[in-house]
Structure 1
Amino acid sequence: MSAMSSSAESVSTYPDGPRLLADVGGTNARFALETAPGEITQVEVLPCADYPSLAAALQAYLALPAVAAAGGQSVRNAMIAIANPVAGDYLSMTNHHWSFSISAMREECGFSVMDVVNDFTALARAVPMLSPEEKRQVGSGTARAETAIGLIGAGTGLGVSGLIPSHGSWIALQSEGGHVNFAPFNQLEVEILQFAWREFEHVSAERLISGDGLELIYRALANRAGQDDALPAAEITRRALAGESQLCDDAIEAFCCMLGTVAANVALTLGALGGIYIGGGIVPRLGARFDQSGFRARFEAKGRFASYIAQVPTYVITAKYPAFLGTSAILSERLAAA
């Protein structure tokens, strides 16, 4: 993976100055400068709630003293990955209140080139560039060369994408697969779904396999146990990992198993014999608890296709800021084609 640093030492070797890379989720916006091929520096994470607009967050980042000293004020080219469908010029975020016109923001920020892609499209482009140290295999399976790769990740929402091999390169899919209907696997998940229907007419996979979804699963299990209780996702995770709450651990287990179902559905849909990669903010934080969960058993529980799906390896992405690799690759292609 490209070098990451927070120092102001790097001086851009690009003739048109450093490039801005961004990875915008529903909770945080991550920014960085790329000063040369493979040199990504000045990584900063800004809470979305602290800024009225994406342009305001972006301009605040470029105005930071260390970023400005590294050439932030001379940025002319930018690529933004965002947790949202990208179709047309105007975007309104699904999991945050920011709305904007791409062309208007490009002009407001004074960029020559600025484009926006779906965040999991960018993350998918990063997958082939991950080093062995930046991913962890969970369960068995061996990746088959020159076959499709799937990508799924739970955080504020549920991202889905894939990579299709094409003449020695890859085509990244722009997908909103996280919004497919949630499909329960067993009676417990039927009861969780029925609980979710009290709040939502349409229960997508994202409604349950996300940060808010973990909270919803916990409330459903508490209700099933005759309790009226709610906890934030971070506290559910903390108590589960600390061994302080069986109910929190049960919520984590249900979450991991549900993710296994959806990941296997993606693998079957794409024919992803090249593997399924798991990103997002939640699973990497679970560490060994995820590896010990029912995720992989559920992933392989596909009836007549169990032997087929057992061939597919599953990996947790452990790289800290992998989406920057994808945005860098996409921006380089756009500039080369200009």
Structure 2
Amino acid sequence: MKEVKSRIRNILLIILVCLICTTVMLIALTYPNYHDTVSESQKQLITNSNILKTEYGDIEYAVKGEGTPVLMIHGAGGGYDQGLWLGKVFFGNDYKFISVSRYGYLRSPIPDNASVKMQSEAYKSLLDNLSIDKVIVVGVSAGGPSATQFANDYPERCSSLILISAVSRGPVPGDKDPFYVGIIHTIQQSDYAYWLTTKFFQPTILDLMGIPTQVYETFDPEQKELAQEMLDIMHPMSQRYEGTINDEKMIEFYSVPTSNLRAPTLIIHAKDDALVSYKHAENAHNKINRSQLILYDTGGHGMLSQMDRTRVLVEEFLNESTYDSTT
């Protein structure tokens, strides 16, 4: 009996040593690449943005392009860099993108008593500082509430509103299960863990972010490249974690304001979005008078597989909105 126990103990010890050695080898082989990637991302983030001090807190922002101004409001795990990327993906050229980092993301701190309304007030201060009178407002995912709030509170500054996979209220059935949200939060707190996951387990991390594996499996090479770009743009992830936690607090009891929302609104969502239920889109559509709702059967959160169709819809909507505003 003692010999059997000793043999089992030795086998377990060998397994443990193998696991430790494998982990050490993995770190030794991957850490230099990780370090270079995150260091370069950090350098670019600081170089490419500005900070504006307002009475509603400091706000990090970047301006890129020429043409019709578009205020890009990113989702959870994002920042001004994600907003610029979304602008490129959904709009292309001929627009001036004003992209912000919301409270808690990158270099935008969380002020005392932070709220969705206060965040929208900071957007107004930014536009005033840039001498921009009117913008197209785009809210993506968790950026939906402050985008909608801005459109309601400052209707004279919003020519049209576009909500993409956007939150429009507190949690609803169909949103990501809290267990999986907890996994996302754990990964978010470690830049290395996030880098490893995006490098070697892309379908898994995309599934956690609301793009079902069965949707990913239908991606063509261009769509897979876009998916990787979307993941890469979120390095370093740890600098976005406080914003994600703050979003949950600010959005918990949020409701779409409609008292003053006059801008024509385009709402796009996928029914198989596994992070933000399409019920948010239906809720926004029911509350916003001048809204148009587009629901895809598939596409997941971000709708990368529906990108070409979405670009056309956005262009047509903006052309119609421009015509309506001049007649």
TM (normalized to structure 1)?
A: 0.27
Point out the structure with the larger strand share.
1
Point out the structure with max Rg over C-alpha: 2
